[in-house]
Chains A and B, each alone.
Chain A
Amino acid sequence: MKTNIGFTSFKYIMLITISVVMLMPFVWMLSTSLKDPTQIFVFPPEFLPWPINVSNYVEVLVDSFFLRQLFNSIYIGAAVTVGTLLLGSMAGYAFARIPFRGSSLIFLLFLSVMMIPAEVTIIPLFLLMRDLGFIDTHVPLIILPIFGAGGAFAIFVMRQFFKQIPKELEEAARMDGCSRWRIFWTIMLPLSKPALATVTIFTFLQNWDEFLQPLIFIKSRELMTIPVGLSLFTDEAGTAWHLLMSASVLATLPVLIVFFFAQQQFIESLAMSGSKE
């Protein structure tokens, strides 16, 4: 069994190395966020700043647009997710169960949407939103993701899932006099929790990360989302790294907290979406 012990230690060395590299940015971010500006660039690097200084956090929270931008990100993400769930599940159900003319052709069109880079449509969409007067509002940031690749992905996942549910279930309900609408809400949706979870996780993460659209559509600082807000932080404050790191910690915490509580769900749902080709 000697080779096995050797192999196991090799495994651990590899895993520990990569974990250290992965976690280092978080450690350094947290550490810097607790430092006084004078402590930032000292040699050798200090992991545990002393004295611990929380004034950076106070400054970020009180003095900047930070809280407003964090709120924008959260509420836009929630609105997009709810919209995508509603439209995606209804359209997915229609494609799975309601035969209509051109159904498969339209479904193919939706699938092709997933392949088309968002960058191709961003310029006409910018002009469209400008002419509609929606520049520097949250309207494009909420509407566009729902009808983009994310929406198409939701339709795809929901359709695949609904197809697996036995038809007999619906037929029995129809015998009892259920309308299609009621079948959808009271039978199909409650059964499709795993698919809904996948769509929720993907949509929210995707939206939390979206950078190009908010960069283009939003001009005023108080309307920006967190990624754009943080990226501009660098420009104008030069290198106020201690403040930027506190803001980054605060921007990362909500997602990390959700992730730690829903970890199993996260990983399962990502794995599911991948193997379901």
Chain B
Amino acid sequence: MFLGFTIFMFGPIVFSLYMSFTDWPLLGSAEFIGIDNYKAVVQDPEFETVLKNTFIFTGGLVPLNICLALGLALLLKDKLPGIGFFRTAIFVPVVTSLVVWAIVWKYMFATDYGFINQILGLFGMEARAWLYDTDLAMPVVIFISVLKNVGLNMILFLAGLQLVPKGLYEAAKIDGANRFRQFFNVTLPIITPTIFLTTIITIIGAMKIFAQIYVMTRGGPENSTKVLVYYIWEKAFQSFEMGYASALAFILFFIILIFTLIQWQLRKRWVYNED
């Protein structure tokens, strides 16, 4: 087991770090060039766009996903007739293949006679070129990505909400706290560990977005949806600049690491039951 991980995981990590210091074409030999790749990355205007897009995607997706998931969990927490149906409906996209999901939405957002534009047309609204508009493509990708995975976070929140002792609500009610007070003073503090966990998982996932972009926009229009992993793939397997792509991959790794460490440090401030 350890051998397997050494060959397929730890070794490649070290090797990848080494590669990031070389000029490494797919065919032919590598040449050690020190930190030149990293210097080039810093000066690469396309990298700047790509990094910005990655943050826009993450910054858009994470709060939407967490708020919607928490809201849905609160709506579905108590027994209501038909609750099984709603849970299933919200969870079904999670088990659907991401590529299928992206393909179907791409089709629904098609420009001329796409489903979304047809529906808008029924209400007399103007058709848009959703995925070919630099202002609209990214929001569309964020929207479909939130819908794809919100069910997973919702389930984690449902599990977290079960841990809230029922007695606390009774006590709050006796003290005259309304629904909102109950939520902010009782529920929210107790589920902070779940919020913490889902936020970390969702941020890491968002930083690594690839399949949706590949299927729906290929980074376009005009690079408006080109994100970091897509750029790594393009550099490594389209233009075969393996060394440069390795440097990009390490930058992704460090960004994720830094985000996680910051979260980890901040958790003491707001996560319940942590010292």
Chain A residues in contact with chain B, CB under 8 A? Answer: 7-8, 11-12, 14-15, 18-19, 21-26, 28-29, 32, 40-45, 87, 90-91, 106, 109-110, 113, 115-128, 143-144, 146-148, 151-152, 155, 205, 208-209, 211-212, 215-216, 226-228, 230-231, 234, 239, 241, 244-245, 248, 251-252, 255-256, 259-260, 263, 266-267, 270-272, 274-275, 277
Contact = CB atoms under 8 A, between A and B. Distances in A.
A20 B104 CA distance: 15
A46 to B, nearest CB: 10
B76 interface: yes
Given A113-B5, A124-B15, A148-B9, A211 B92 contact: no
Contacts of A14: 71, 75
A255 B208 CA distance: 24
A11 B108 contact: no
Main secondary structure of the interface of B (DSSP, over half): helix
Given A45-B115, A117-B208, A275-B160, A19 B214 contact: no
A106 B16 contact: no
Interface in B8-61: 8-13, 15-16, 19
B93 A22 contact: yes
Nearest to A274: B156
Contact of A110 (B5, B98, B207, B246): B5
Given A241-B107, A248-B100, A263-B88, A120 B13 contact: yes
Given A19-B86, A43-B118, A124 B257 contact: no
A127 B210 contact: no
B97 A45 contact: no
Interface of B: 1-2, 4-5, 7-13, 15-16, 19, 71-72, 75-76, 80, 85-101, 103-108, 110, 112-113, 115, 118-119, 121-122, 147, 152, 155-156, 158-160, 163, 179, 193-194, 197-198, 204, 207-208, 210-211, 214-215, 229, 232-233, 236-237, 242, 245-246, 249-250, 252-253, 256-257, 260
A43 B113 contact: yes
Contacts of B194: 274-275
Nearest to B255: A117
Given A15-B75, A255-B95, A87 B249 contact: no
15 contacts: A15-B76, A19-B90, A23-B92, A26-B104, A28-B108, A106-B2, A124-B19, A152-B5, A211-B210, A230-B99, A241-B107, A252-B96, A271-B159, A274-B198, A275-B194
Contacts of A260: 88
Contacts of A119: 208, 229, 232, 249, 252
Contacts of A215: 214, 233
Contacts of B198: 274
Given A155-B1, A212-B211, 6 more contacts: A28-B104, A124-B16, A147-B4, A244-B103, A256-B96, A274-B197
Contacts of A263: 88
Contacts of B113: 40-43
Given A231-B99, A256-B96, A117 B80 contact: no
Contacts of A255: 95-97
Contacts of B207: 117
B100 A252 contact: yes
Given A11-B75, A208-B97, A18 B211 contact: no
Given A209-B97, A230-B99, A117 B5 contact: no
A244 B215 CA distance: 13
